[in-house]
Each structure stands twice: as C-alpha cells, then as structure tokens.
Chain A
C-alpha cells in the first residue's frame, strides 16, 4: 500500500511526460489523479494510523550500508502525507488554469509530480538514509520547478541559489545521518528513534546535531540561510504555493519533528534551535513589511513562520511541539491560499507589485474576500486557524521553564514582536492590495479568474475558518495523531478551542495586534513605504561569493593548467624529486661500493658519449647538426653494449639508430631548420639546474644499484635456455620464449605505431619547410651500386633471422636489416618508383605478422598448453634424419613481418606526404616566434 502510494506520483510523472501529445486537460487530469488516488490510499490507511498502528513496508536495497527501501507511516508521516497530497491536488487544479497557453504543461506537471513523489518519499521514509535520498531529490526537483521559466534570469538564478543552499544542507544532512548510523548501528527509523539516549550521549552528538541542523535550517530557510527563499519566487505561482506552504520548506521542519525525539533534550539543541528560530522569526517578519512584491511579502512571511515553528521545536517542551505541528498545518493552509490568490492577482493584473495594486476588491470581489480571510489567518486574528497556534506559542513562551526567567522574557518579547510584525505585514498585504487607491498602470481589464482557479483558494480559506472556529471537530484528530508520531506517549494535555478565557497569552496576543496595527500606521506615517528599496543582502552576498568563486577557480585553474607542456613536464620532475629525492640522498649517503677498473677503450667510448651528449645539448638549435651529433651518441651507446657483452643490443641499437635518423630527417623537412631561442635566460638556468639535479640523481641511483650484489633469476634462465628453449642465444630465447608475451606486446606497439603514422599522414597535406628548386636529380651511380647491394642485404637479413636463436640476430633485427636497405631504395629511387615496382601492403603485413605470432602461440593452446608454450619437434625425415623445429621460429616470423611492415609503413608514409593543394607557402605565423 505504502509502495503504491509512493509510486503513484512517479508513475504519473512518467505518464505525463511521455504522453506529451495529450491535451492540457488530459494532462492535468492525469497529474491530478496521482494526489487524488494517493488521498484515497491515505484514507484507507487512516483508520490504522489513527488507532496508533504504524504501517510499514521494507525492501532490501543495499544492506552493506544499511540502506533499505523502508517505508513507514506513523502519525507525523501521515499528517505530512495528507498535506502534501491535499495541497498538491489543489495546486494541480489551480495550475491547470494558471499556466499560459504556450507553456509546456507536461513538463510542468511532470516536475511537479516528481517533486510530490520526492516529498512523499521523504515523509514516508522509514530509513534515515532513504530519507536523505528523498531529501536531496526534493532539492533537485525543486531546482527544476523554480527554474521552470528558464528564459527568465531570476528564475535561473533563483533555482541555482535554492539548489546550492539546500543541496549544501543536504550534504551536511547526509553526513549527520551517516554519523547517526554509526552511533546507532542502523539507519532504520525505528532503531534510531529508540536510540535517542545513545545518540545524545555519544561524543559525535555535537557533530550530528550540527550537520543535521545545517540540513534543516537550509531547507527551512532559517537565518542565515533564508535568502534563497524569496528568490525562489521566480517560479510560477503554483510552484510557490506548493513549495513554500506545504512541502519544500516544510521538509526541514518535518525532519526537525522527525528527529526531535533523538536530538532534543540537550541545552545545545535548546539554545541553538530556539535562537535560530527566533532570529528567523523576527528577521523574516520585519523584512516582510517592506516588500513590494506580493510574493516577496509572502516569502518573507513564510520565513518568519518557519522561524516560529523552529523556535517552537527549539523550546523542547511537548506542548511546544504540539504547537509547532499545529502551526505547520495552519501555515500550510493559509499560505497556500495566499500564494494562489497572489497568483490570481498577478494573472489578472499582470503585476504583483503592491505599489501598483490597490482597490482590487472592486474588480476581484471573491478572490479578495478569500485572500483577506487567509491574510487574517496569517496575522493570527481570532476565529482563524493562525490564531490558535499563535496562541499556543504565546502560552508556551510565558510558561517556559528551561533557561530560566531570562529566556522566558526573551521568548516573550520575541513572541510579542513577531505578533506585531505579523499583523503589520498582513495589514500591508490586505490594505495595499485590496483597499486604497489603484490599481495603477495596469493595462489589462481585470476580472475574476476561471472558477477552478478560485476553488482551491476557497477550499483553503474555508479550512482556515473551520479550523479556527471548530478546531476540535476538524483538526484535533490530525494533530493528535501527528503529535503521537513525534512524542509517542508523551503527548501533553492541550485543548484546542477559540476561547480559553482572558489569560496572559490572549493579552499578549491582543497587545501584539494593537502594536502591529500601530506599527503599520506609524510606518506609513513616518515614511513612504513604497519608496523603501531594500537590497537583498543575502542574494548580494551569494552573487558576490559565487562570482568570486568562479573567477578564482578560473584564475587558479588557468594558472595551473595553462596548457603548457613544459609546465606539465616540470611538475613531473618536481614530483620525482619529491618522491625519490630523499631516498636517493639517503642511499648515496649510506655509501656506495667501489667501481671496477675499465679498459682504456672503455674510456674512449665514455669520452665520445659524454662529448657528443654535451654537444647535442649545446648545438640543439641547429637541428641538422644536432641530429648528426646524436648519431654519434647512438653509436657510442651501441658500443657500450658491445663492451659490456650485449651483441644483440648493439645490433638493434645500430639499426634503430639508422631508422631513427631517417625518421628525423624526413620530419625535419617539414619543420623549421633551427630552433628559435624562446625561453627567458632565467628559465633556461632553472631548467639547467633541475636537469643536473635529476641527472645526478638518476646517475647516482644507477651507480648505487650497480655496486650492490645481485641475486637474480637469470641463472635459471641460462640453465634452462638450451634444454628447454632450444636456443643458445639466451637473449633471443628470452625474447621469443621465456618472455615471449613481452615481445608479443612489443610488436603490437610497433605495429600500432605504423598504423598511427599511417592514420595521421594518409590524408594529410603538409607543406615542406622549404622546397628545393628544380626536379629531383637522378642519382645513377648510387642507385646502381645499391642494386648490387640490395639482394646481398636481403640474404643477410635471412641469415640474421635464421640464426637469431643461437647467435645475435632474430626476427626484430632481421626485419630491420630488411627494412633499411629497402629504405635506401626509397631514398635513391624515390618512393613512387619503389612502390610502383614492389607495391607491398604494409598494413596487411602488420596484420599478418600479428596473426602469425598469435597463431604460433595458439597452436600450443589447441594441445592444452598455455599460450606461447614453445614446441620443439624432431621429426625423422627420410634421408635427412632428425629435424629439430622450434615453434619459437614461427613466432619470430611474426615479429619479422610486423617489424618490417611497421618500419616500412612509417617510413613510406613519411616519404609520401603530399603538399597542400593551394600554392605551397610554408606555414608561418606570428606564434612561431613565441
């Protein structure tokens, strides 16, 4: 039942929004059906709730954090559900006529229903975490509602402000709820409500209270978070009527009531809540007097009434709680009707500015009557519901015990002032709108709105009267049930009647009314109320802060990120120094071992490498020269590999060096020939410094590492290489067998590099930096000699490939030994010629290589062994005898193909770049000189 009740608005929202083609009438009916059906369900549950039963429903959701989909309807939830649904139904009816012809009704009703559902979910939640979920949902949906007229700047700003403030509160609430869960061990409301003592005794209590109250205060627009509420008035009036009477802002006080049993009873609670409530009460009421906008006045009045309710809960007596609950109901009724009335006025006159309104009782007699009734209820005039709860408040104020006489007097003064202010702004509302002169500068012809717009107002106004006159017959059971929901069995004795005798509260009340009347008159006399322009301080602050935040964020982010590569890299180095520097220092300080003596030839290599490295750095701006010098560095590196027993490395390094130089030269054709000196000298020295520090650090680490003893698995590799890997060149056996998977990945990288280059250059048109005049001259003698060389080089490639497993060589080296001579053909004969004669599909070559390598590994899988398990068969062939064949050879074939295909794809793509179609002017722009 509860699930159905909760699901109704969501389902209806979905229906409304999906069935967009429906007429407005149908849409409104669909929308209205949800609260009406909900009210039906509620009615069916009412007897059980009234009898003290608490209907529940639970679905597990995330047991790990104790979040269950628990619904629970006690008296409090019941009362709120009633309010949400009943006023919701009225608002839907009202909105059906309020919305203009061109407005997107499905969207409006959809949002409204979503909001209604969230609100219902919050009041029905039987799990605190679930409550927090719905709480935030109300923030989100109210954001959508407030911003419904999104073309209006105030609407967008108001929506964002509301979301920011209530969203922040929601996060705080979430924190508080989690803390409660940690104290109680469960989020289930039953458990939480039973654990009040534990919570109050917990060291986390102040944090819990603070966070939860933050949520409550923001949502209920308590001082100093109240400023979002007036700006939320940019919403269509039905939204305001709904959000600011019965629902959104009431969520805060609902939660206050909900958690009252566990949070109240401490001085902290008492002082904080009542102080904030009192402040809000006065500030709201005082400000309301000076509003010119009808809805603005109502908004501040709402703030004030919420302050009153908060104050009542803060006073922490059972009686005050009952009064608070009662006022929640009363406020909902009169405020909803007032908002609707304001909406009608706006709708009919085109303005809500009280300075232009007046004397509307002439034009809108029914509406005026209803609005006046509601306004008097707001002022707390006898015979109306507002009077009753105000009276209870005064009674409580005068009987307050906690805090002693000081507190009692303070609260009494607050009550008195609040009463006076309330009367004053109510008078202003009534007088400036319905009486006096006017209306001024209203262009429309004013007449009563459609009947169905007045009916909701009427119903609510009648309710105000009925509750005010015969409370015992109308509201008593509701209030009793709700009070039981909050207070359990501790519901105090109270009487709901208009007449309790001529007692202190009544005197205070009358005094307040008189004072209010005088205040309004006095203010009118003293100053021109209409000329008072009050700046919304809160909004101003919010704006300034938001802007400052955005600007600050932008500046900071811009400064940090800035899109500079050098900065990125600089930070990497700094991070390395920070994370590895101290340890390096420590390692070096702990001492390092001695160095072995080096043969003089080693020092020659050392000198070549060091000198060429320095020269590269010094000469780097002359690019071609730098490239040449780097060639010497590469040669020296490969000789270092020779010196220290790494023939395969030396070979690979040599070949890769050649291809790299080819690449760089190809690229240099499309880049400037010299680097401009772009950085400030200070920057250069800074870079020199960090480069040296990093270099010394890495060198030091390497030195320290080399002088430590090594316990490596390599001895096992050496031992098992021949018997199990069938190869004498252990490096090659590692590459194709022990760590064949690395090589598999490596050739994948190589192949992908080919693909990337291909992808980047195939359709690119790039102008060379400088085009040499004349046609490319033939080079007959070099090409002639290279024809002699080419087949021989191919033979060497085959040799390197076949020998690789036992001597330096292997698929990679052989692939490059194949690619480099072919590259030479490209250089000497031109790419077009070579490709027209040979025409390889290098992309397919890469694909084929990958497939071959993969299949050589897959073969073993078919036999049930892991991928890449090398096989070694020795079939005895006739005449030839035993014939050893290693599957690693097949794998190496894949390597060979990929390396050849990849290298050639890269080189040939770079060699065949087309110039732009337009006359080739080398790209020059001012930025080049940056």
Chain B
C-alpha cells in the first residue's frame, strides 16, 4: 500500500511540476491541480495507511488508534483542499483577466521587459 501511495504521490508531483513549468496559464493551473492532489495525498499519508477504520467513533469501541485511523491529517487535508480550491479560483480568474488584458494566455504575456 505504502509503495502504491508513494508512487501516486510521486507521479502526481512529477506531472504537476511538468505542467507548472509550461508557459500557458491553463497548463499551469492544471499542474497546480495535480500538485495539490499530490500534496493532499502526502499529508493524508502522514497518518499512515489504514483500511476500514474511519475515525467516526462507534459505541462500544475504545477510542484508540488501534480501532481508528489518525484523524488529524484528515482534518489538515480538508483545510488544504479548501484552501487549494480558493487559490485555484483566484488563479483562474487572474488567468482570464491576464489573457483579456494582455492579449495572450502566455504566462509572461505583456511583459515589456525587466527591470
């Protein structure tokens, strides 16, 4: 299991990084989406992989880690998902505006040079 999850994290990361390095805003957003999946899985994996022990307490079952998986990383991932969504929304809108204002969806569009 661990290897499977780690390989998923690795591949998502690699895919995300590659897309993030493309020059078009939409590709970058796709890349960030993949990266955020990778991140969420990684944080999630910090609680270790346990099948069939969701952290919803049941009557008569001692509330210990023997019977329930670690709930904390799940809460963290929830927060991370929400924040990633918010960021994606903002990025998408900026990408739209940037394309409309600068006439291109190239991430460096309208750049008249630095400094």
Pairwise interchain contact B10-A700, C-beta atoms closer than 8 A = yes
Using C-beta atoms within 8 Å of the partner chain, give the interface range for chain A. Answer: 35 or more
Pairwise interchain contact B21-A687, C-beta atoms closer than 8 A = yes
A-chain residues with CB within 8 Å of residue B8 when the two chains form the complex: 606, 609-610, 613, 640
With the chains together, A670 CA to B95 CA distance in Å? 9
B-chain residues with CB within 8 Å of residue A902 when the two chains form the complex: 86
- The proximity string for A residues 761-773 relative to B, scoring 1 for CB distances below 8 Å and 0 otherwise, is 1001111000000
Show the binding face of B for A, using Cβ within 8 Å: 1-15, 17-30, 33-34, 37-38, 40-42, 44-58, 63-65, 68-72, 74-79, 81-83, 85-90, 92-97, 99-100, 102-111, 113-115
Using A750-B82, A760-B94, A812-B82 as known contacts, say yes or no to A565 and B1 having CB atoms under 8 A apart. no
B-chain residues with CB within 8 Å of residue A606 when the two chains form the complex: 4, 7-8
With the chains together, A671 CA to B24 CA distance in Å? 10
Pairwise interchain contact B100-A647, C-beta atoms closer than 8 A = no
Pairwise interchain contact A757-B79, C-beta atoms closer than 8 A = no
- Least CB distance from B113 to A in Å reads 7
Partner among B17, B92, B113 whose Cβ is within 8 Å of the Cβ of A690 = B17
Pairwise interchain contact B104-A928, C-beta atoms closer than 8 A = yes
Pairwise interchain contact A906-B114, C-beta atoms closer than 8 A = no
Pairwise interchain contact B27-A675, C-beta atoms closer than 8 A = yes
Pairwise interchain contact A649-B13, C-beta atoms closer than 8 A = no
Residue of B nearest to A693 (CB): B14
- Least CB distance from A410 to B in Å reads 52
With the chains together, A596 CA to B50 CA distance in Å? 10
B-chain residues with CB within 8 Å of residue A899 when the two chains form the complex: 82
9 nearest A-B pairs in the assembled complex, by CB-CB distance? A699-B10, A695-B14, A753-B86, A703-B6, A925-B103, A691-B18, A734-B75, A730-B71, A691-B17
Residue of A nearest to B55 (CB): A730
Interface window among A46-54, A364-372, A711-719: A711-719
Residue of B nearest to A676 (CB): B24
A-chain residues with CB within 8 Å of residue B103 when the two chains form the complex: 923-925, 927-928
With the chains together, A928 CA to B96 CA distance in Å? 14
A-chain residues with CB within 8 Å of residue B17 when the two chains form the complex: 573, 687, 690-691, 694-695
Partner among A644, A660, A703 whose Cβ is within 8 Å of the Cβ of B51 = A644
Pairwise interchain contact B26-A668, C-beta atoms closer than 8 A = yes
Q: Is A191 close to B, CB under 8 A?
A: no
Q: Is A862 close to B, CB under 8 A?
A: no
With the chains together, A554 CA to B114 CA distance in Å? 9
- Could you give 25 example pairs across A and B, Cβ below 8 Å? A557-B115, A563-B111, A564-B108, A569-B20, A595-B4, A596-B2, A630-B33, A644-B69, A645-B50, A656-B82, A667-B96, A675-B22, A696-B14, A699-B11, A703-B6, A705-B46, A706-B49, A712-B70, A714-B70, A731-B75, A906-B89, A910-B93, A923-B100, A927-B102, A930-B104
With the chains together, A564 CA to B22 CA distance in Å? 11
With the chains together, A807 CA to B56 CA distance in Å? 6
Show the binding face of A for B, using Cβ within 8 Å: 554, 557-558, 561-566, 569-570, 573, 593, 595-599, 602-603, 606, 609-610, 613-614, 616-617, 620-621, 623, 626-627, 630, 633-634, 637, 640-641, 643-649, 652-653, 656, 659-660, 663-664, 666-668, 670-672, 675-676, 678-679, 687-688, 690-692, 694-696, 698-700, 702-703, 705-707, 710, 712-715, 717-719, 721-722, 728-731, 734-735, 738-739, 742-743, 746-747, 749-750, 752-753, 756-757, 760-761, 764-767, 806-808, 812, 899, 902, 906, 909-910, 913, 923-925, 927-928, 930
**Further contacts, 18 of them, CB under 8 A, given A663-B92, A700-B6:** A558-B113, A558-B115, A565-B28, A595-B1, A609-B8, A616-B19, A616-B30, A640-B41, A645-B51, A664-B29, A670-B99, A692-B14, A698-B42, A714-B65, A715-B64, A812-B82, A923-B99, A927-B102
A-chain residues with CB within 8 Å of residue B78 when the two chains form the complex: 648-649, 652, 731, 735, 812
- B interface, by DSSP: helix, strand, loop or mixed? helix
B-chain residues with CB within 8 Å of residue A706 when the two chains form the complex: 2, 5-6, 45-46, 48-49
Partner among B33, B54, B104, B113 whose Cβ is within 8 Å of the Cβ of A646 = B54
With the chains together, A729 CA to B68 CA distance in Å? 11
With the chains together, A691 CA to B38 CA distance in Å? 13
B-chain residues with CB within 8 Å of residue A808 when the two chains form the complex: 56
Pairwise interchain contact B110-A749, C-beta atoms closer than 8 A = no
Pairwise interchain contact A688-B106, C-beta atoms closer than 8 A = no
Residue of B nearest to A909 (CB): B93
Residue of A nearest to B110 (CB): A927
Partner among B37, B48, B69, B109 whose Cβ is within 8 Å of the Cβ of A633 = B37
- Least CB distance from A541 to B in Å reads 26
B-chain residues with CB within 8 Å of residue A565 when the two chains form the complex: 28, 107-108
A-chain residues with CB within 8 Å of residue B92 when the two chains form the complex: 663-664, 666-667, 910
- Least CB distance from B8 to A in Å reads 5
Pairwise interchain contact A702-B42, C-beta atoms closer than 8 A = yes
With the chains together, A182 CA to B2 CA distance in Å? 59
With the chains together, A643 CA to B50 CA distance in Å? 8
